[in-house]
Amino acid sequence: MSKDKVDIFDTTLRDGEQVPGCKLDTKQKLVIAERLDTLGVDIIEAGFPISSPGDFKSVDEIAKIVKNATVCGLTRSVKKDIEVAAEALKHAKRPRIHTGIGTSDSHIQFKFNSTREKILERAVEAVKYAKTFVEDIEFYAEDAGRTDNEYLARVCEAVIKAGATVLNIPDTTGYCLPHEYGAKMKYLRENVKGIEKATLSCHCHNDLGLATANSIEGVINGARQIECTINGIGERAGNTSLEEVVMVLRQHPHLNLDTNINSKLLYDTSQMVSQKMGMIVQPNKAIVGSNAFAHSSGIHQDGVIKKRETYEIIDPEDVGVNESSIVLTARSGRAALAYRAKKVGYELTKVQLDSVYEEFLKYADRKKEVLDSDIHEIIASSPVNVESIV
């Protein structure tokens, strides 16, 4: 059975770049945009053009160079924002305006001091106005995660009638539980007239560490776009991580969902974004963290050396990592030491291994991690003679 395609909407350059201290200049943004295009993302959210002249320039320049992806600019439901975004996107091969407004009672009351009816009118006006500039209009219902489903369905229906092609249902505060977010998508699919004319989109924040789970639950329940960032960067605890959702769908083929992403470029892209933004990737980050394919306990190492799949569900090469690593610590066993010793040029017999292992444990207790260079020293200090095989 052929798989349903899930569009990947990358917002590293907009939601991701909102992280304090991660500001990028236009040149850096262009390099990242080109890489995202090569990676295979379907939509690049290039920025929020009205927010600053610098952001306008970045969106304008990105629109000129991106070859394959749709280029998108964010706006509020404000005429001037929409005009400026349309101007910044005028060179894009495939432009999209992303407009919207807060729809939860909390946003309506405290942000806008308004009413549900007035917000609905503003949403419709914004979509109609954006439609006079470009065909592809994405509408976001900010704080949809905490918006009453019945009202949200009314807003969605009205903006589809006004011309919206994509409906973004953001869990802006990262509040939803996966089953609730999935149920929201299902409710919209079943209760919004004209829903077949639009694509439902997941935009999840990670305040409770649920962004990836919520996005996956969203697509299981009919959404066909996921909004995400490289390394999961973004406001507060971040956005859904691109590499995670892509690999969840790849590793679970029974879901019959897939993306266009060239997963072999994931690790390099992660490193590139991390370096340009000056934001390190946490070592235990799924898929792209430095420990994602590293094994340090003796039991795991023994399993992985015998057969990688015993403790790894992803082939590291599939995400652009050369190989799994066997890290030597005081928790490592003989199998790991023999394996790493062989890599640096020593084939140890059982007697040699027993002796070298004793020396290794003394050494490892003093050091956090034993490196290749240390192995030579350990072998030299062992009372049993070991010849190098290289």
Cα distance between residue 356 and residue 372, in whole Å: 14
One residue of 61, 136, 142, 157 binding ligand KIV per CB under 6 A: 142
Element (H, E) at 74: strand 70-74
317, two tokens:
């090469």
Strands 325-326 and 294-295: parallel
Q: In the complex, what is the shortest distance from the CB of residue 260 to Zn ion, in angstroms, rounded to a whole number?
A: 22
Stretch that binds ligand KIV, among 19-27, 29-37, 111-119, 167-175 (CB under 6 A): 167-175
Task: Answer yes or no whether residue 139 interacts with ligand KIV by CB under 6 A.
Answer: no
Comparison of 96 and 300: residue with beta carbon closer to ligand KIV: 96
Q: Please name the residues in contact with 57: beta carbons below 8 A apart, sequence gap of 6 or more.
A: 26
Task: Answer yes or no whether residue 360 interacts with ligand KIV by CB under 6 A.
Answer: no
Q: From ligand KIV, Zn ion, none, which one binds at residue 168 (CB under 5 to 8 Å depending on kind)?
A: ligand KIV
Site size with ligand KIV, rule: CB under 6 A: 8
Cα distance between residue 360 and residue 38, in whole Å: 45
Stretch that binds ligand KIV, among 112-120, 168-176, 191-199, 267-275 (CB under 6 A): 168-176
Stretch that binds ligand KIV, among 165-173, 250-258, 278-286, 320-328 (CB under 6 A): 165-173
One residue of 73, 170, 232, 320 binding ligand KIV per CB under 6 A: 170
One residue of 15, 42, 81, 171 binding Zn ion per CB under 5 A: 15
Paired strand residues for 203: 170, 227
Q: In the complex, what is the shortest distance from the CB of residue 43 to ligand KIV, in angstroms, rounded to a whole number?
A: 13
Query: Environment class of residue 238 by beta-carbon count within 10 Å: exposed (0-12), middle (13-18) or buried (19+)?
Result: buried
Cα distance between residue 308 and residue 301, in whole Å: 9
Q: In the complex, what is the shortest distance from the CB of residue 142 to ligand KIV, in angstroms, rounded to a whole number?
A: 4
How many CB atoms sit inside 10 A of residue 123's CB? 24
Task: Please name the residue that has the structure tokens 């699919």.
Answer: 189
85, two tokens:
């975004």
**What is the contact surface with ligand KIV in residues (CB under 6 A)?**
15, 140, 142, 168, 170, 172, 203, 205
